[in-house]
Structure 1
Amino acid sequence: MSARTRRQKAALAAQGDESEESPSGNGTVPTPSKRTPSKKRGRSSAREERRENVFLFAPNLIGYLRVFLTFASLYYMPLHPRTCSILYTVSCLLDALDGYAARYFNQSTTFGAVLDMVTDRCTTACLLVFLSSAWPRWAIVFQGLICLDMASHYMHMYATLSMGGSSQSHKKVDSSRSWVLYQYYHSKVVLFICCALNEAFFIGLYLLSFSSPTLSPSLLQPVADAQPSSPQPGNPAHPAPTSLFASPWSAGALELARANKIDSWVPWMITGISAPVMAFKQFVNVVQLVNASRWLVEGDLEARRASRKK
């Protein structure tokens, strides 16, 4: 064998040894013992990702329960004020529990935050729609409150996600941007009191539509020579309970009879105590809407300046 052939064989053998020692070499296959741990790590992380189902996180399950309770309260809203109020109140109280669950289980997600906000807005809007039908003369006020609530929170959420980043919470507000919003969102106690008493005010109005002759003089009373138009409380034309149900002793007719005997003192107290907080909550909505609008405009101006430089 010539010296050249021996040198070529030695070079090939040395290259093979280096390939065994260096798993990252191009065109080489790493030894099984050195690639198994990385595969195991990859498989375990993939399994962990597959196991996580955001839709079944604890705070989101509470959110689904809130949606169910809201629909149940809407079902009982026209004729069963007690049942509706209980279901609606429980749904509102669970709003604080889902946030606690998200922090406790470390399951804070963007989907959960949006689900929580959408549930809040839709729940309040449905109650205000009922109040609009109970007192048609004040419908424009309730419609304005719906618009303000929806627009304010949508603008704030959109501005936070588009300007602050998709990972930033809408409750994280810089004090330099808005002192009012910082105080509102920074303290969980302040946030809970404002939201709870705001809902309590509308619940009080809802109960007053069944119990206060001062606000609803024709409450559940038929009007002579008037065409029946709707069984909703507060409507100026109401058919007699016996014409609403097949039997005057049915559950619905009995509930109508009990509804007419609700004591209006407690609803008046709830409404009076919560009224200042409700007014403050609407002020916060206005500030939130203006602040979000300005933040979005800042982003527009910055984008236009950047496009001019190009």
Structure 2
Amino acid sequence: MRDRRDTTHLRSKAVLLYIPNIIGYIRLALLATAVVLGKRYPYSTFVLIVTNFALDGVDGIIARALNQVSVFGAWLDVAIDNISRGAIWCWAVQGPLAVIPISVEFLTFAATQEWGGAAWKTGCFNNAPSWVAAVMRNGFKSPAGILSVAGLFGMPLWLWSRRFLPEFCFGNLGIGAVLLAGRLLAASVEGWVLYEHLKVTLQEDAYKRAD
């Protein structure tokens, strides 16, 4: 029994050191550096944030290529996404309004993790309406999915750029309009997820009381 526990512990430590997970730790380090630099060095901060976001598309590819897919890695990836976007929303939007997108994203994260776990991209959307399925198709690899992800990551960064890099081309109003459309599309999917999760939760409570 002791040998089995030791083996399990060693395997758990090995998962922590999977290459995709190390990329996640690097993303956190980039975010921490961006927080330190802040508005004093806005261009450097922008590059760090964009690099953070770009690495989000790399870790999954590497995980599949090296057969290092893990439940922890799937959770870590989305958690870092939410933390990163949350930090930018706090910089970009003054006052309590920043709480709205941050709260919605974390509630959606909690709902999908409870609902589908590591396989949330498929497990939560088997019976989704067509417009939600269009966003989620092939893990966001569809026109609607790409637009949604662009808005999800790009909208807070665009607002941040408008505030701290007003002359930078990324703050163009045309780019902002596209990103806003994507973020609204993502918000519609988040709303559907939260509605369905709440409905299922209430149904489970009703079944328990009936028993």
Q: TM-score, normalising length from structure 2?
A: 0.79
Could you say which residue in structure 2 is the equivalent of 1:182? 133
8 Å contact 2:105–2:190 — kept in the other structure?
Answer: no
Match of 2:75 among 114, 122, 131: 114
Question: 1:157-176 CA distances to partner (integer Å, 9 max, x unpaired)?
Answer: 22324xxxxxx511114352
Could you say which residue in structure 1 is the equivalent of 2:30? 69
8 Å contact 1:131–1:206 — kept in the other structure?
Answer: yes
CA distance change for structure 1 residues 109 and 192 in 2, over 3 Å: closer, same or farther? farther
Could you say which residue in structure 2 is the equivalent of 1:267? 170
Equivalent residues in 2 for 1:236-251, closer than 5 Å: none
SS in structure 1 at match of 2:141: helix
Give the aligned residue type for 2:207. R
- Report which stretch shifted further, 109-118 or 300-309: 300-309
Distance in structure 2 (CA, Å) of the matches to 1:175 and 1:265: 42
SS in structure 1 at match of 2:121: coil
Distance in structure 1 (CA, Å) of the matches to 2:152 and 2:204: 37
Question: 1:212-237 CA distances to partner (integer Å, 9 max, x unpaired)?
Answer: 3xxxxxxxxxxxxxxxxxxxxxxxxx
Give the aligned residue type for 1:112. G
CA distance change for structure 1 residues 301 and 65 in 2, over 3 Å: closer, same or farther? same
Give the aligned residue type for 1:170. W
Q: TM-score, normalising length from structure 1?
A: 0.56
Equivalent residues in 2 for 1:115-264, closer than 5 Å: 115-133=76-94, 139-161=95-117, 169-172=119-122, 173-187=124-138, 188-190=140-142, 191-212=145-166, 264=167
Could you say which residue in structure 1 is the equivalent of 2:190? 288
Q: Sequence identity of aligned pairs in percent? A: 19
Displacement of 1:67:
0.6
Question: 1:159-204 CA distances to partner (integer Å, 9 max, x unpaired)?
Answer: 324xxxxxx5111143523333322222343445532454333323
CA distance change for structure 1 residues 291 and 199 in 2, over 3 Å: closer, same or farther? closer
Distance in structure 2 (CA, Å) of the matches to 1:294 and 1:198: 21
Give the aligned residue type for 1:207. S
8 Å contact 2:37–2:45 — kept in the other structure?
Answer: yes
8 Å contact 2:108–2:193 — kept in the other structure?
Answer: no
CA distance change for structure 1 residues 275 and 298 in 2, over 3 Å: closer, same or farther? same
Displacement of 1:95:
0.3
Question: 1:253-308 CA distances to partner (integer Å, 9 max, x unpaired)?
Answer: xxxxxxxxxxx151332x53243333333343343333344244335424643653
Distance in structure 2 (CA, Å) of the matches to 1:72 and 1:150: 23
Asked if 1:93 is matched to 2:54, the reply is: yes
SS in structure 2 at match of 1:189: coil
Could you say which residue in structure 1 is the equivalent of 2:64? 103
Count matched residues: 203
CA distance change for structure 1 residues 128 and 104 in 2, over 3 Å: closer, same or farther? same
Q: Which has the larger radius of gyration?
A: 1
Could you say which residue in structure 1 is the equivalent of 2:179? 277
8 Å contact 1:197–1:277 — kept in the other structure?
Answer: yes
Distance in structure 1 (CA, Å) of the matches to 2:42 and 2:76: 27
Distance in structure 2 (CA, Å) of the matches to 1:143 and 1:115: 22
CA distance change for structure 1 residues 286 and 200 in 2, over 3 Å: closer, same or farther? closer
Give the aligned residue type for 2:148. C
